[in-house]
Structure 1
């Protein structure tokens, strides 16, 4: 095996065992399907017998589970190195963390028993038949489907949005430091694919600086990464010189490559026979006509160059053409370095632009300018990893060099996740030096605003009204096509298509590596809570760090950001597949969401909702999860009766089934069980809406297609939560929808006694759920359920609103009104052992901050916390009852 790979790029392997094994470099090969029964060939090798002897010395039948677990690392090292000898298996070998994950999924006790039996029988060859040493099927499948998805039809207009954005950022009226910015967002949002699609219209030079040891697509440009990151970067002056040579060489090689493409190409769109003088005297109509010819040639060059740079690439390797391209760049840069020649970056950039647009027909004096060439660096955060102090790094030096081509229509994109984006400061120490920050903010030039817009829902299946049934929208393939393109594209490219594999990919991405939720995985549990409950973060410094980490490693979406985090807005996008993965992870953890949330060290960063709506949504989600447990995995939706059974205590549920409505329309005076016998519901996450028009029947069916309950924004009178209900005998449409309307109260003055005015405020007509008579939209009002959750009530219990005195024989709508008071098993049947967590979370919801709890110092003793907390409470005079 080759050993000339940089240590940072080798596989994550352990050290030697008794001198048998040495750290070896990961052999590269084309990834193919997992071979079947290839291990017979391996067992003929001499190393097998030696491996058996070493494993036999490590494992003893008398070892307890703790010692067996301790020795597993050594077993993995031995087996892993043995299996590497087969090139057909080596690509599929599990990394160390994957191996331990596999053992846990298989069952620790079962695997330990197998080891003990093999020791007793001296039958170690059976060890090689165990799939715990092989990458999870989900990861292997993801690698293969990523390659197929890359060449699939691109859907959506994200690349056109990117083109228009770049053109706007090239506007001469802007005065940035350099024509560059970041594309930032979480994994799987299509950043690289969007840039690749842009390369069909605009000449785009892609550079991937990902480590070879990190799986992903597109593949790493390893030689370029080595030269940039691991070159002589001991001194700032060395970097300035090297990077100047690099940019110069890149511009020169790009131009000469395009010249060769034109020389060797067929059917090259011709350039108009013009010179600068002709253009100056040209009318606008003539200019536009000739500019169209230049655009056609540019698009032809872009598409041809893109094909040459990407055809035949795999997840492990760039193609030969692309390797040679960067070898030529590095060679020219080294030649300039050895000869001590300077590089005229501005001149090289001007020659490149002149080749694409000789007479500046695509240029514009004012307004947006069409880019001629775009240089895109994927995984660009590695350019900041060499920062020894706050004064300089590779990115800052590169930015200074790109300042030289400020006036040219050449644009640079640095693609990264938002967690690393905060390292791309335009000036040293801007984040920590307030005076420096103010100077930069008030001075010119300023950095350009990052680009966060991504492809979202572009792969979604058509969901036209009255065309899909409830049973369809709960299927994994439907869910996978909603949200970021990662999962839908993988599903389409997966052969064969397996729901369990796709869910494993979602679990893996959500937890940033593992496929099960460990008890101490706090960022992972927060990620699960975020995607299910649409958690929002506060805006203080700690919350900013938490939000960045969630975007970088746990699939949170960045909506908007500025270079200095003056603005940094993130959301948990509505992605039902991720929410389903989170549901499975938390179910397997055997700990309810409220316990993860109430006990989470980052709870102080989360907006808890002063009305108690976060407690309410966790109660509701818990009831729904309990209701769906008996159902099959493919059904997922539950009946309204099953949900209410899981929500209420048994006796209260029995009462509800026989209850008649508080109000009813003609011929709708029927018991609850008869009224809702054909109604179902489906949600596995929360969507928080900003516009109350979204809760109308015209829109309610759309939430069912995404599997979402509806949380209204703060300070909406009369309504807090809406649970869409649909007639399961009909397709999803405005005519098949109704709802459970919920109002949440978090004050002790709302006790067990019903306050009828709260129900009256939830009129489905006044709220817009159903249109008033005479409106253009005609929807027959369906029966609704109205709940008031008086969570802070000192008295617990369920009360059903009695029928008021009737003025006529028919009401305008049918409603069942239920009052739920207090956090107790007498109110919520499944609250059980989680009561303390619910009460704690409800108490925290009343406090806008956690300063009184001193949560920012984990080492502080409880006694000191109490003393300092009491002192802080006294500083907030009369704000708390215990002052």
Structure 2
């Protein structure tokens, strides 16, 4: 474990003495499952000094595809480095790298959702290796935002989750996949644009079988639940195993499972059981637990972390961000917001930099 922590830190003994940017990227990547930019100068350094794995090298040898494969011990080491004193620094450094496009931005809502879930797993891990679904939800949601568990079966709600990290998959999972990922202490990220669902967390039932928590993430900045034109279908039918796992044996999954729908940038604070339209197959779906949350403030976390994650939700590459404000007279770098507006007047005409400051 000490060796793994030193490797994540790039050979140093602690976070403060490390190169904080790339170290933060290594720590988060080993638990959240990030897409690195193949052209990033950090890609080769992560492989050389921070435990990343190189999958491919371009013919001109200027681009690398690097990943952090599922490795339970490495995620445990990352958890130990994510202390209360370093967590805010790690997330801040990661946000800076997003704004510099060193990490592939992708859907910001999904990235933030995975960070929220990993932080919950981190807190629970300090208590025990495997925690009940009920304990997981209690640690995830604030008391007034808890899902309605009135129809929860004991074998599911007392079943356990044990994930410590995420990995992306390029295939449709099966029932066997749930067991394999649970044993590896891993939750999985569905392939890009997979219908219905973004994140899946395996659950081991009290009976010894396996079920699942499936989560759909939206990052819509609006004050109405109707901002998602497919809602409530996107939180009910599109989150059913029948729809999500159409090409695997999970399509006929007959155990209870939990469907969570998050609209993170909703302007307000609202939650509900999404309505179920009666169809011939609706009877079987009534067994499942469905819960929709609109807004960011449903989740348990400290204010500093919440502030950083909210900024990540809206962060983008912009010359007005502090990361690009370079003033170095010796090298001829003089940043001024008025000059930027002159060079791109249609793009920045309405941008009021004084208010942003």
Q: What TM-score comes out, normalization by structure 2 length?
A: 0.83
Gap change, CA 1:510 and 1:566, over 3 Å in 2? closer
1:783·1:813 contact (CA, 8 Å) conserved in 2?
A: no
1:854·1:869 contact (CA, 8 Å) conserved in 2?
A: no
Partner of 1:768: 245
1:594·1:618 contact (CA, 8 Å) conserved in 2?
A: no
Partner of 1:758: 234
The structure whose residues are more often helix, as a share, is: 1
2-side partners of 1:513 and 1:719: how far apart? Answer: 38
Q: Give the drift of 1:805.
A: 5.5
1:288-326 deviation digits (Å, cap 9, x = unpaired): xxxxxxxxxxxxxxxxxxxxxxxxxxxxxxxxxxxxxxx
The SS at the match of 1:864 is coil
The SS at the match of 1:819 is strand
2:232·2:275 contact (CA, 8 Å) conserved in 1?
A: no
Q: Give the drift of 1:572.
A: 1.5
Partner of 2:12: 514
Partner of 1:830: 301
1-side partners of 2:32 and 2:302: how far apart? Answer: 18
User: Does the alignment pair 1:682 with 2:162?
Assistant: yes
Partner of 2:139: 646
User: Does the alignment pair 1:659 with 2:149?
Assistant: yes
1:796·1:822 contact (CA, 8 Å) conserved in 2?
A: yes
Farther off after superposition, 508-517 or 738-747: 508-517
2-side partners of 1:611 and 1:586: how far apart? Answer: 21
Gap change, CA 1:723 and 1:872, over 3 Å in 2? farther
Partner of 1:699: 177
1:752-810 deviation digits (Å, cap 9, x = unpaired): 569211122112012227967xxxx9965111111111112111233233565587994
1:697·1:770 contact (CA, 8 Å) conserved in 2?
A: no
1:751·1:821 contact (CA, 8 Å) conserved in 2?
A: no
1-side partners of 2:238 and 2:351: how far apart? Answer: 31
2:47·2:54 contact (CA, 8 Å) conserved in 1?
A: yes
Partner of 2:69: 573
Q: Give the drift of 1:834.
A: 2.0
1-side partners of 2:295 and 2:49: how far apart? Answer: 38
Partner of 1:504: 2
Partner of 2:80: 584
Gap change, CA 1:628 and 1:568, over 3 Å in 2? closer
Gap change, CA 1:758 and 1:814, over 3 Å in 2? same
1:854·1:865 contact (CA, 8 Å) conserved in 2?
A: no
1:580·1:684 contact (CA, 8 Å) conserved in 2?
A: yes
Q: Give the drift of 1:659.
A: 3.4
Gap change, CA 1:872 and 1:507, over 3 Å in 2? farther
Gap change, CA 1:828 and 1:850, over 3 Å in 2? same
Q: Give the drift of 1:685.
A: 1.3
Partner of 1:143: none
The structure whose residues are more often strand, as a share, is: 2
2-side partners of 1:554 and 1:737: how far apart? Answer: 34
2:200·2:213 contact (CA, 8 Å) conserved in 1?
A: yes
Tell me which structure has the larger Cα radius of gyration: 1
2-side partners of 1:712 and 1:778: how far apart? Answer: 15
1-side partners of 2:290 and 2:341: how far apart? Answer: 43
Gap change, CA 1:868 and 1:556, over 3 Å in 2? farther
2:160·2:204 contact (CA, 8 Å) conserved in 1?
A: yes
Across the aligned residues of Structure 1 and Structure 2, the Cα RMSD in angstroms comes to: 3.4
2-side partners of 1:539 and 1:529: how far apart? Answer: 17
Q: What TM-score comes out, normalization by structure 1 length?
A: 0.36
2-side partners of 1:571 and 1:598: how far apart? Answer: 19
1:853·1:865 contact (CA, 8 Å) conserved in 2?
A: no
1:682-736 deviation digits (Å, cap 9, x = unpaired): 1111101122x12x22312111122112112222231111111111452xxxxx1
Partner of 1:626: 123
Q: 1:532 aligns with which of 6, 31, 49?
A: 31
Partner of 1:555: 51
2-side partners of 1:678 and 1:769: how far apart? Answer: 28
2:156·2:206 contact (CA, 8 Å) conserved in 1?
A: no
Residue ranges of structure 1 left out of the alignment (5+ in a row):
1-502, 661-669, 731-735
Q: 1:746 aligns with which of 219, 243, 253?
A: 219
2-side partners of 1:505 and 1:805: how far apart? Answer: 56
Farther off after superposition, 784-793 or 760-769: 760-769
Partner of 2:194: 716
Partner of 1:614: 111
2-side partners of 1:868 and 1:717: how far apart? Answer: 44
* 1:844-883 correspondence to structure 2 within 5 Å: 844=315, 847=316, 849-851=317-319, 853=321, 855-856=323-324, 858-859=326-327, 864-871=335-342, 874=345, 876=347
2:156·2:257 contact (CA, 8 Å) conserved in 1?
A: no
Partner of 1:787: 260
2-side partners of 1:550 and 1:684: how far apart? Answer: 21
2:155·2:205 contact (CA, 8 Å) conserved in 1?
A: no
1:69-101 deviation digits (Å, cap 9, x = unpaired): xxxxxxxxxxxxxxxxxxxxxxxxxxxxxxxxx
1:791·1:821 contact (CA, 8 Å) conserved in 2?
A: yes
Q: 2:22 aligns with which of 523, 533, 555?
A: 523
Gap change, CA 1:868 and 1:572, over 3 Å in 2? farther
Farther off after superposition, 813-822 or 851-860: 851-860
User: Does the alignment pair 1:839 with 2:307?
Assistant: no
Q: Give the drift of 1:832.
A: 3.0
